[in-house]
């Protein structure tokens, strides 16, 4: 596990070394074969690898090194005292080819990353969507099962949200949801997971947050959210249910059901309230 984490952490550095080694190997073979065999196309391999796995700057670095190498090879191949523009023309053509490869590769990479982000993100609020939250929660449940460290899950529902849509329109309703999500995402840690599960329902997972810390953290967050919506004059409040699991629950569905139950208990208590319990899980 530690090795996997180290590889992920230093993945770009590893790919940079691998790409430059491939570039060096291609350059060496190209030098040995000389004019007998053109290996220009093989230079695309390290250029594309570095552009994809490291980034635009690495692809451009490989491109510059490649063009310099090819230009030097062709220039040195000229007969002594013979001058020609051919090496310069070839270098320019190869530069254009490699630039196109770098541009295409980085564009495809950005498109893929954007599509992956859309697949995991709620388009309106920027929070995680239900599917992504389930993945994060199951991963955290597994971690808790291994190391015994607790985690807390909170489920929040906006009170009177339908009335806001009916009175002010759906544009205002969307603004409410965006404001709530913005406050939460600015307030939580980078290791926390916040999601919009649908409609006006939100979930928050706090890794390694025990039963003592959870009420403090969530009460403060609840207060910040109330201040934000009150400042806009929106007649909405929040009902929040939260459970700290000292052991992982039997399933994601069981976890969500328990937290959802507490949220509805908070609503029955008069709305705009917060309920929290600590459970062993299992």
Catalytic residue numbers?
Answer: 200
Adjacent-strand bridge partners of 241:
155, 275
Nearest CA to 262 out of 242, 235, 238, 232 is that of: 242
| Alpha helices in the chain, H assignment, sequence order | 2-9, 11-33, 44-53, 56-77, 86-120, 130-147, 161-168, 170-187, 213-231, 252-268
Tell how strand 193-198 and strand 201-207 pair up: antiparallel
**Distance separating alpha carbons of residues 178 and 227, to the nearest angstrom:** 15
For residue 126, give the DSSP letter.
-
> In angstroms, rounded to a whole number, what is the distance separating the alpha carbons of residues 52 and 7?
17
CA 91/CA 147 separation, integer angstroms: 58
Q: How far apart are CA 106 and CA 48, in angstroms?
A: 9
Tokens for 252? 């994601």
From CA 193, how far away is CA 141, in angstroms rounded? 13
How far apart CA 239 and CA 155 sit, in angstroms, is 8
CA–CA dist 246, 148 (Å, integer): 7
């Amino acid at each position: 596990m530690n090795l996997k984490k180290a590889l992920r952490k230093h993945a770009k550095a590893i790919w940079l070394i691998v790409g430059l080694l491939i570039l060096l190997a291609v350059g060496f073979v190209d030098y040995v074969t000389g004019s007998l065999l053109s290996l220009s196309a093989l230079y695309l391999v390290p250029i594309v690898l570095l552009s994809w796995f490291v980034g635009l700057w690495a692809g451009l670095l490989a491109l510059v090194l490649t063009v310099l190498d090819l230009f030097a090879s062709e220039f040195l191949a000229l007969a002594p005292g013979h001058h020609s523009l051919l090496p310069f023309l070839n270098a320019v053509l190869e530069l254009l080819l490699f630039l196109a490869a770098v541009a295409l590769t980085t564009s495809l990479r950005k498109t893929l990353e954007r599509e992956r982000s859309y697949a995991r993100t709620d388009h309106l609020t920027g929070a995680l969507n239900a599917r992504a939250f389930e993945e994060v929660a199951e991963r955290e449940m597994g971690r808790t099962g291994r190391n015994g460290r607790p985690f807390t899950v909170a489920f929040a529902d906006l009170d009177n949200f339908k009335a806001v849509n009916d009175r002010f329109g759906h544009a205002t309703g969307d603004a409410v949801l965006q404001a709530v999500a913005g406050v939460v995402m600015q307030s939580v840690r980078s290791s926390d997971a916040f999601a919009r599960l649908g409609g006006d329902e939100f979930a928050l997972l706090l890794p390694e947050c025990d039963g003592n810390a959870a009420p403090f953290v969530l009460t403060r967050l609840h207060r910040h959210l109330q201040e934000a919506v009150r400042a806009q004059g929106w007649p909405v409040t929040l009902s929040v249910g939260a459970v700290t699991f000292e052991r992982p629950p039997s399933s994601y569905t069981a976890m969500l059901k328990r937290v959802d139950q507490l949220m509805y208990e908070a609503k029955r208590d008069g709305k705009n309230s917060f309920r929290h319990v600590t459970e062993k899980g299992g």
